[in-house]
Amino acid sequence: MLFPLSPLEVDALWLSLKVAFWAVLCSLPFGVFLAWLLSRRNFPGKSLVDALLHLPLVLPPVVIGYFLLLALGRNGFMGKVLYEWFGISIVFTWKGPAVASAVMAFPLLVRTVRLSLDAINTKLEMAARTLGAGPWRVFFTITLPLCTPGILAGMVLAFARSLGEFGATITFVSNIPGKTQTLPLALHTMTQVPHGEAAAMRLCLIAIVIAVLALTGANCLEKRFARHVES
């Protein structure tokens, strides 16, 4: 019997949604700023920044997870400070999968927003500047409204990528049921235990449905953005 879900599977699904939500929410301001910086400004080392941004897309996720462990683990150069000074622990909590998911999804978010910024006619921004509008006013009244559909599409793609994150998460925070076991990690666990086929199939179907909904939503937003820019 495929349904209903067991409590362990419900916990994994809920944790995945929670992790993806916070991963996108916390990375969104930085993603929009970096996309604007790469799209509108020329500065020394821009190519290097662009290359570093896309590293999570080309490196094995295990490598990213290992670097996160070195940086944010209890004995890491950042994790030790966070724990000793502020009492914040990243590893072995839901914050760990959120950080790993945010890092892995960040390039998709920035890339989608940057493409939407590149498609905007910069003459509109220049016209606003000549009429006396400051940089912040131009950004919030011209640039941001025009690229909003692109930002939403980037958020959807980043959300979907966060839901499917596996390699960096299991390397960084292990696979602890109820704490760090997200949907992909639970699926991996079900394939390793006897008689776990039904549970694995349930989780597969849920992952497919969520991915299809996210990609469909992103495509709709991109088409809407294209029509918005053309008009």
Please write the tens of the pLDDT for every residue from 179-225. 888 989 988 888 887 877 888 888 888 888 888 887 787 777 667 76
> What does the alpha-carbon distance between residue 115 and residue 112 come to, in Å, rounded to a whole number?
5
The stretch 118-130 carries a mean pLDDT of: 84
Per the structure, the complete domain to which residue 99 belongs is given by 7-230
pLDDT band, residue 228 (cuts 50/70/90): low
pTM for the whole structure:
0.86
In a domain, 2, yes or no: no
Res 66: pLDDT: 93
In a domain, 101, yes or no: yes
In a domain, 1, yes or no: no
Highest mean pLDDT among 83-87, 167-171, 176-180, 209-213: 167-171
3-state secondary structure string across 53-105: HCHHHHCCHHHHHHHHHHHHCCCCCCHHHHHHHHCCCCCCCCHHHHHHHHHHH
Res 108: pLDDT: 92
In a domain, 147, yes or no: yes
In a domain, 59, yes or no: yes
pLDDT band, residue 32 (cuts 50/70/90): very high
The stretch 76-95 carries a mean pLDDT of: 85
User: Which range, of 67-71, 158-162, 175-179, averages the lowest pLDDT?
Assistant: 175-179
CATH number of the domain bearing residue 160: 1.10.3720.10
- Residues near 130 by Cβ (< 8 Å), separated by ≥ 6? none
Res 156: pLDDT: 87
Number of domains comprising the chain = 1
